[in-house]
Amino acid sequence: MSLAAVRNIGSPRALRSGEEVEDFEQEIVDQYALAMAAAGLGDGHVSHTRSTIIEFARSLGRPLWSATCDDADRFLVEQRRAGRSVSTRAGKAGALALFFEFVISRYQGDIRALTGFVVEQPIDEFNRQSGASLGKVRVPPSEVEVDELFAQWRVSVVGARKYLPAARDYFAASLWRRLGLRINETVMLDIRDWRPDLGGFGKLHVRHGKGSRGRGPKARLVPAINGADRLMDWWLGEVRHRFGDDWSDPDAPMLPSERHDPDLERCRRVGDDALRQGLCVATAAWLPGWSGRLSPHVLRHFCASSLYGAGMDLKALQELLGHQWLATTSGYIHVRDDHIEQAWTTANRRLETRFAEGG
């Protein structure tokens, strides 16, 4: 990505023509792009944000600094009429909100001196999509259902017509189930990323964790708890070497494709579509009630809920899942129906014990 060279807009000046108004507006947008780059945001994030700002500016038909909440309302309604998803609309609203925070913080004085406008924040609590409305609550299957699915799947792998991809798909889904890895984190694992020498269970070096706000990969070490250590022993000891001679190459992909890369002289990396399809086929066969609904991310939610139910605290879950905010981790917890009732009963028992001891 290349950014335009921008002038210093710190000193107010007169805007004598429509062209100068457009140039000044473009300078503000470019300054924001520079600020995002300085904050470490990736080129793709910067480009996507600029596109959203420009799209909003075109819908206005007048300078950005004159935008009001009514303008944002109309823009978001048009996005909905155009068939944009809830998450897409929320993303655009969030991008605009941050842009206007930047404008108000840095250039409110210049804009008022040059144009007479007092910049306002057009995205407010009333027109911005709330987290509860994004449709992202992914309540997973029960433990009984997931256990049955994976038990049947494991048995089927032995007799599969194409054993290696069947075993690979099962292995990947088991990482989602047991450690809550994201699908891209799984795909990007290399053989060197398994470190059995670290900790009591061994650890996976997840180098391509999801960074916040487009800041690029955020690495973390994930302990092979919840049976993942035995899973790794099975995969590397019994299966991986059968894909090819690259099993001893530390830079070879942990989850290979059946195709060989002649340039690198090792297996190609499997794509996420193949892993999704493997889960889809298995679900249709052994958990048909969840067919079309059980995704890698739903298994990530299942992992969080299962470990929380087993006693893992939220802070540990936050580190395991690679979340920046504890509130995000809280949204992944879907406890059984009687959790509140059990908590109430436990609290009352503690109270009764305290009174009995005091008496």
The reply to whether 125 and 149 lie within a common domain is: no
Examine residue 217 and state whether it is found in any structural domain, yes or no.
yes
Whether 291 and 190 map to the same domain: the answer is yes
Mean pLDDT of the chain: 87
pLDDT at 41: 81
Domain boundary among 110, 133, 156: 133
For position 18, what pLDDT does the model report?
A: 79
Q: Are residues 183 and 260 in the same domain?
A: yes
pLDDT, residue 119, reads 93
Q: How far is CA 34 from CA 5, 41, 217, 359, in A?
A: 10, 10, 20, 69
Residue range(s) defining the domain that contains residue 124: 18-133
- What is the arithmetic mean of pLDDT over 290-311? 93
Domain boundary, last residue among 103, 133, 163? 133
206 forms beta bridges with 220
pLDDT tens digits for 312-353?
A: 999 999 999 999 888 888 888 876 556 566 667 777 787 777
C-alpha 63 chain-centroid distance:
34
Stronger pLDDT, 1 or 14, i.e. the higher one: 14
Are residues 60 and 200 located together in one domain of the fold? no
Residues 129 and 149 in one domain: no
Alpha helices in the chain (DSSP H): 18-38, 43-60, 69-81, 86-115, 143-158, 163-179, 183-187, 228-234, 272-286, 296-309, 314-321, 326-330, 339-358
10 Å Cβ neighbour count for 338?
10
Percent of the chain scored above 70 by pLDDT?
89
- One domain, residues 214 and 166: yes
In this prediction, residue 358 carries a pLDDT of: 66
CA 250 – CA 352 distance, rounded (Å): 59
Q: What is the pLDDT of residues 7-26, one digit of tens each?
A: 444 444 667 787 888 999 99
Are 203 and 334 within one domain? yes
Cα angle: 129, vertex 133, 135; to 5 degrees: 125
Statement: residue 279 has pLDDT above 60: yes
Q: What angle do CA 308, 138, 331 make, to 5 degrees?
A: 50
Mark whether 304 and 242 lie in a shared domain.
yes
- Give the pLDDT band of residue 160 (cuts 50, 70, 90): very high
Contact 41, 86 (CB under 8 A): no
Query: Which distant-in-sequence residues (6+ apart) come within 8 Å of 273 by Cβ?
Result: none
Which position has the higher pLDDT, 6 or 81? 81
For residue 3, being part of any structural domain is answered with no
Output the domain CATH number for residue 252. Answer: 1.10.443.10
- CA distances 170 to 61, 121, 187, Å, are 53, 49, 13
Which pLDDT score is estimated for 6?
Answer: 43
Radius of gyration of the chain (CA): 26
> What are the tens digits of pLDDT across the range 339-349?
566 667 777 78
Q: Are residues 120 and 230 in the same domain?
A: no
- Mark which of 86, 101, 133 sits at the end of a domain: 133
**How many domains are contained in the chain?**
2
pLDDT at 4 over 60: no
Domain membership flag for residue 216: yes
